[in-house]
Structure 1
Amino acid sequence: MTTFGSAENGSGASGTPWRVGVLFSRKGHMREPETEHFRGTALAIEEINLAGGVLGRPIEPVCYDPESSPELYRRSAERLLTEDGISTIFGCCTSSCRKAILATVERRNALLWYPSLYEGFEYSPNVIYTGAAPNQNSLQLARHLLSRFGPRFYLVGSDYIYPRESNRIMRDLVSREGGEVVAEAYVPEQPHEDQIRRVVEDIRRRAPSVVFSTVVGQGAHLLYRIFREAGLDPRTMPIASLTMAEGEIRAIGPELCVGHITSAPYFSTVDTPANRRFVAAYRARFGRDAAVTMYAEAAYFQIHLFADALARAKSLDTQRLVDAALGTEYDAPQGRIRIDPDNNHTYLLPRIGMVNEHGDFDVVWEAKAPVKPDPYLVDHIYDHA
């Protein structure tokens, strides 16, 4: 267990702390995006505590490292909610880990704040969803790829719920627009190099217009590296993703990723006053070369949303906190966001970015206004521009 930002290490708050749980991995195959979730969480808690806390009381995090394992996530959540007496958790990146703790969170009437994009088709009164739903990334990406690169899509993913559901959505969107899915392939969550090489060889053979990848973690690193080793050119056949962010681009090597595409509400290059402050604060805390990503940003702003709701609820009681949180707005680094009272998801600003030679994203498209979350894709109209 680790802690940060508590009254004992120099915060401006005093009094009985508000104790919350933090569950993000710093080990395992998802360590890079989850470490970014963890850092965004830490930065926000430290900022709030240094400013006097919430109602004069500091936020005290109780943190465990589930090591990218759904089983460790489940056990850690159980420990937080029973032994540690916690009722509010900030955590999870992959859907398999969220699903692993959801029953425990609901059974104990706790509250999970979930900052990662996901495949949608879920609602829980015990979860606040602050990452993108499919109508805030997949729909915009499908339209962009079809118009800019062509109709032939190759879908490849890691073999678990998020990739399979996201690929199902993408397949539906592509077919509705007159495109064609030429193949759909899956690899284990922690694939061997040879498994990725076989997929890349199949991509070369089928020559699609674009590759839509829902491969995550270290498997995604292998895919991007082997794709370039095979001589495939992102400028004419890009890999498009919902998950590939600046931190992983740097780990792979920016020179191998120039031209690839990600659809997300946030990139470090977003030009808002709030983002300039966020990037400066993040790099002052974690190093001037620290990658600032969608994973850090959503984890950061959801702590500020929580603090605002807590100040009004004056209690960590789950129902009172949820009631206070719904409808809450905040000037996040990406822009003005709001928790939708209809479904506990968040209004976000869709963007599409292309990797440049520095390992950052040039924003090539963005919505004109935040998009209402539609996790069940009731409305398939996606021209919100």
Structure 2
Amino acid sequence: MQGEIRMGENSRESATRLPADAGWRIGVLYSRTGVTAATESEHFFGTALAIEEVNAAGGVDGRQLDPVVYDPKSDPDEYRRLASRMLQEDDVTVIFGCSTSSSRKAVLPVIERNNALLWYCSIYEGFEYSPNVIYTGAVPNQNSMQLAAYLLRNHGRRFFLVGADYIYPRESNRIMRDMVEQHGGEIVEELYLPSDADPSALDQVVRQIKAVKPDVVFSTLIGRGARAFYQLYREHGIDPSRIPIASLTMTEGETRMIGPELCGGHIISASYVNTLNHASNKRFLESWRMRFGDQPASMWSEMAYNQVHLFALALARTRSLDTAKLVEAVHEVEFDSPEGMLKIDRENNHAVLTPRIAICRPDGLFDIVWEGRIPIKPDPYLTSYGFAEFWLDGDAA
């Protein structure tokens, strides 16, 4: 494909640039190795596809997008170091990157100090705003609230919380606990494990779930540990139709890695699943399959894809990589994304998104069982925990 971007397989810090004169230089900072390699590789593929599409269409104002690409290896210190290198040595002022909150917080001081612009496509716990970040993933009022309400209505009131021991899981579980307890539910246990948890520790958690018999498990485990957790769940004979695992992160790519037959019946809350019947999604999936074959697209790749196209639309207006001009311009554009029309809220630089809840099928894809009637404005500071505004009555897909 014209304008293809890639990383050297064996180099520690290879930066492969497109052969374009005076291109729009941008940074791409996603891990292809380490604990979060699976989801961040999907970020990378979505980013690559969008860059290639923009360049194949002639670029922006006649100039190609010129990516500088590094692998921070899932290490927050590497994110910080490589972001600094991009900004100080590679003539980059716009970076698409980071997945976990720990990696975002590691680079944020560098981004702000250099008045650069970070495009951050992961879901996260909210409670942050920076004029130097465009946040295109969901915040809790666009996924956690709806999930809590759905689970309380359809699965019961006894919740078991398990997560990785870092910012996002702890904050997500705090929010889930508040919402569940405010609406008559009970948290029977809340446990944390290292991000790359040992299988024996995961096994003990599954045994505890089997003994406690909660109505639902809310998991904020990540990476290899999360995949092992789902596998152990079925090995211990826990039936997802009786005690499902509910997640904000376990999407199509990882269900394939786990084994789709082991994931049937589990639940996700996300703004995108790749079974959406939108013309824009069909176009996206066709391009995705032409580029990546049968590797499934997911929320992780889709939102990374979207934000590059939003950036290109904003850049077409500014014809400049000036941070303030780009931020102003992105508030004025919309992108017909695979999940629907996408725009950024002027008040907080977060995306306006449609919440959806879906159940995994035995083939690893997801059937939507609830969908918001309209897109939801982001409320990153979670000023309200109320459920009424999410129209759960009569809103099945």
Q: TM-score, normalised by structure 1?
A: 0.96
Give the match for residue 356 of structure 1: 361
Q: Quick one: distance in 2 between partners of 1:176 and 1:251?
A: 36
Q: Quick one: distance in 2 between partners of 1:384 and 1:54?
A: 39
Q: For the Cα contact (< 8 Å) 1:337–1:370, is it kept in 2?
A: no
The alignment status of 1:203 with 2:209, answered yes or no, reads yes
Q: Which secondary structure does the structure 1 equivalent of 2:89 belong to?
A: coil
Give ranges in structure 1 of 5+ residues lacking alignment.
Answer: 9-13
Give ranges in structure 2 of 5+ residues lacking alignment.
Answer: 1-13, 392-397
Q: Which secondary structure does the structure 2 equivalent of 1:119 belong to?
A: coil
Q: For the Cα contact (< 8 Å) 1:115–1:130, is it kept in 2?
A: yes
Give the match for residue 308 of structure 1: 313
Displacement of 1:381: 2.8
1:34-53 alignment runs, 5 A limit: 34-53=40-59
Give the match for residue 132 of structure 1: 138
2:228 to 215, 222, 225: 222
User: In structure 2, what residue type is equivalent to 1:243?
Assistant: T
Give the match for residue 344 of structure 2: 339
User: In structure 2, what residue type is equivalent to 1:228?
Assistant: R
1:137-157 per-position Cα deviation (integer Å, ceiling 9, x unaligned): 000000000111000000000
Q: For the Cα contact (< 8 Å) 1:66–1:76, is it kept in 2?
A: yes
Q: For the Cα contact (< 8 Å) 1:3–1:60, is it kept in 2?
A: no
User: In structure 2, what residue type is equivalent to 1:93?
Assistant: S
Percent identity over the alignment is 56
User: In structure 2, what residue type is equivalent to 1:211?
Assistant: V
The alignment status of 1:370 with 2:375, answered yes or no, reads yes
Q: For the Cα contact (< 8 Å) 2:28–2:69, is it kept in 1?
A: yes
Q: Which secondary structure does the structure 1 equivalent of 2:305 belong to?
A: helix
Displacement of 1:15: 4.6
Q: Quick one: distance in 2 between partners of 1:309 and 1:173?
A: 37
Displacement of 1:379: 2.5
2:33 to 27, 30, 37: 27
User: In structure 1, what residue type is equivalent to 2:333?
Assistant: T
Displacement of 1:85: 1.5
Q: TM-score, normalised by structure 2?
A: 0.94
Q: Quick one: distance in 2 between partners of 1:180 and 1:150?
A: 10
**Large movers: runs of 4+ above 2 Å:** 1-4, 379-385
The alignment status of 1:81 with 2:94, answered yes or no, reads no
Q: Quick one: distance in 1 between partners of 2:105 and 2:264?
A: 34
1:1-385 alignment runs, 5 A limit: 1-3=14-16, 6=18, 8=19, 15-287=21-293, 289-382=294-387, 383-385=389-391
Q: Which secondary structure does the structure 1 equivalent of 2:378 belong to?
A: coil
Displacement of 1:184: 0.1
1:106-154 per-position Cα deviation (integer Å, ceiling 9, x unaligned): 1111000000000010101100000000000000000000111000000
Q: Which secondary structure does the structure 1 equivalent of 2:390 belong to?
A: coil
Kindly report the root-mean-square deviation, in angstroms, between the aligned alpha carbons of the 2 structures.
Answer: 1.0
Give the match for residue 11 of structure 1: none
Give the aligned length: 377
Q: For the Cα contact (< 8 Å) 1:15–1:56, is it kept in 2?
A: no
User: In structure 1, what residue type is equivalent to 2:385?
Assistant: H
Q: Which secondary structure does the structure 1 equivalent of 2:161 belong to?
A: strand
1:322-370 per-position Cα deviation (integer Å, ceiling 9, x unaligned): 1111242111100111100000000011101111011100111111111
Q: For the Cα contact (< 8 Å) 2:262–2:362, is it kept in 1?
A: no
